[in-house]
Structure 1
Amino acid sequence: MTESHRNTSASSSSSLGSSFQDTEDDQTIASILADEESSKVDDKLGKRLAHLDSIPLTPRVNGEIPDVNDATLDHERLSGRLVTYGLAELQMEGDGNCQFRALADQLFRNPDYHKHVRRQVIKQLKHFRKLYEGYVPMKYKSYLRKMKKSGEWGDHVTLQAAADRFSAKICLVTSFRDTCYIEILPKDTSPTRELWLSFWCEVHYNSLYGSGDVPTRARRKKYWLF
């Protein structure tokens, strides 16, 4: 066997192994979702904000991080809204993966699945490019390469892709001065679950629960190693 042939075979085997692992991971996640109560639409939190007019999301990349004074005021505004509507945050790590951690917590009750969530979002963005590229003000392939990296901040484009990929209604309580509540709906299907996130604008995402229902951060068993 030639060196070139050996390298090609190794590459092929590696690709097949990676493909098999991705399929196995997806099957495992699907099994978890089927068993988890979180896979059902739960409108208990939604009833608390039912009187508010939701603002539809316009997918966009991240804007500039506010200065310290504006960020402090934004956080105070968000905290006040959460208290008003009986909501509380499960704090996510501030490692650049907070959006994906918050989504993973809402989907699987485990923020540690953030790598899986990011991978699924990238698949959605890649396979349905025409749905999203008009919202990305850069070369789309460059955007995908950037967003694929762990630690890269999620934006409103990735939120829309997550809603589409997981058939989820994403409910976002924000610190925007004029926009308290945003709903992100899947484009081509009815949502099968609701995911609740807080958004300290351009700074951080957390996972939302009703006051008194925030789970402990005890580490849950992971079903595979990333």
Structure 2
Amino acid sequence: MSGQQDHASKSSSSSISSSTQESEEEVSVTIGSLLAQANSNSGHSLGKRLSHLGSIPYTPRVNGKIPNVDNATVDHERLLERLGTYRLAEFQIEGDGNCQFRALADQIFRNPDYHKHVRKAVMKQLKEFRKQYESYVPMEYKVYLKKMKRSGEWGDHLTLQAAADRFGAKICLLTSFRDTCLIEIVPRDLTPTKVLWLSFWCEVHYNSLYGIDDLLTRKMKKKHWLF
């Protein structure tokens, strides 16, 4: 929305202010209703399906080195094999640098187009609770925040932790790591109210994860005005 022009009248300014307030209230209601709808049975069914898999202790970290083509190919084949073994399917997420936030938005809102809202929420968490996260960042924290704020900047394992904390969600990653099939990220000080499932082609790409049957019946939620 463009800013008010300097020559606008007082009555016009009042009208714009009122409209903005109503829009913010509408956003709050919309987000709340979408979050309520997001507590579907799909996460619970995946949890039961993969309950025999052990997960490793999780340590937040920034992104590692991107693997070379040969290693990335082997990793992807390993991930595809695991998807087939556990009858899982990926909802394909656009690879525009926002894939982690798009995948989270798909799990939370059933619409990856809400990725900007997810990134904003994660950034707010990282700023408000700096002491919880800054020790994991191997650079000046302000530089990290400025970098991560940009659309197209790849999310890392620290932003996953911040997302888990912000949304009160346990985030489960089915990975392509050779020795680690499943990673769970849990909120630090909250009991999770939802479970979000992502596939992680390690250091390359995130997709939104479903059981095969759940993906076939998945319906994308209509995108409302949020930003």
TM-score range (shorter-chain normalised) is: 0.7 to 0.9
Structure 2: gaps (5+ residues): 1-5, 7-13
Asked whether 1:57 is paired with 2:58, we answer yes
With the length of structure 2 as denominator, give the TM-score of the two structures: 0.86
Identify which range, 63-72 or 40-49, moves more after superposition.
40-49
Asked whether 1:152 is paired with 2:153, we answer yes
Give the Cα–Cα distance (whole angstroms) in 1 for the partners of residues 41 and 218 of structure 2.
22
Give the Cα–Cα distance (whole angstroms) in 2 for the partners of residues 162 and 103 of structure 1.
8
| CA displacement at 1:70 relative to structure 2 | 0.2
Give the Cα–Cα distance (whole angstroms) in 1 for the partners of residues 185 and 20 of structure 2.
31
- SS of the equivalent of 1:209 reads strand
Q: Does the 8 Å CA contact 1:25/1:224 hold for their aligned counterparts?
A: yes
Per-residue CA shift, 1:65-119, capped at 9, x if unaligned? 1000000000000010111111110000000000000000000100000000000
| CA displacement at 1:33 relative to structure 2 | 1.6
| CA displacement at 1:49 relative to structure 2 | 1.2
Identify which range, 37-46 or 146-155, moves more after superposition.
37-46
After superposition, the Cα gap between the structure-2 partners of 1:138 and 1:152, relative to the gap in structure 1 and judged at 3 Å, is same
Give the Cα–Cα distance (whole angstroms) in 2 for the partners of residues 103 and 182 of structure 1.
15
Correspondences of 1:67-216 after superposition (within 5 Å): 67-215=68-216
Determine what percentage of the aligned residue pairs are the same residue. 69
- SS of the equivalent of 2:214 reads coil
| CA displacement at 1:25 relative to structure 2 | 3.1
After superposition, the Cα gap between the structure-2 partners of 1:178 and 1:96, relative to the gap in structure 1 and judged at 3 Å, is same
Question: In structure 2, which of residues 28, 32, 35 is the aligned counterpart of residue 33 of structure 1?
Answer: 35
With the length of structure 1 as denominator, give the TM-score of the two structures: 0.86
- Code of the aligned partner of 1:199: F
- Code of the aligned partner of 1:30: G
- SS of the equivalent of 2:213 reads coil
Q: CA RMSD in A?
A: 2.6
Give the Cα–Cα distance (whole angstroms) in 2 for the partners of residues 118 and 202 of structure 1.
19
Q: How many residues align?
A: 215
- SS of the equivalent of 1:38 reads coil
1:3 equivalent in structure 2:
none
Structure 1: gaps (5+ residues): 1-5, 7-12
| CA displacement at 1:184 relative to structure 2 | 0.2
| CA displacement at 1:216 relative to structure 2 | 7.6
Per-residue CA shift, 1:198-219, capped at 9, x if unaligned? 0000000000000132158976
Per-residue CA shift, 1:179-200, capped at 9, x if unaligned? 1100000000100000000000
After superposition, the Cα gap between the structure-2 partners of 1:96 and 1:132, relative to the gap in structure 1 and judged at 3 Å, is same
- SS of the equivalent of 1:179 reads coil
Q: Does the 8 Å CA contact 1:41/1:193 hold for their aligned counterparts?
A: no
Give the Cα–Cα distance (whole angstroms) in 1 for the partners of residues 200 and 133 of structure 2.
21
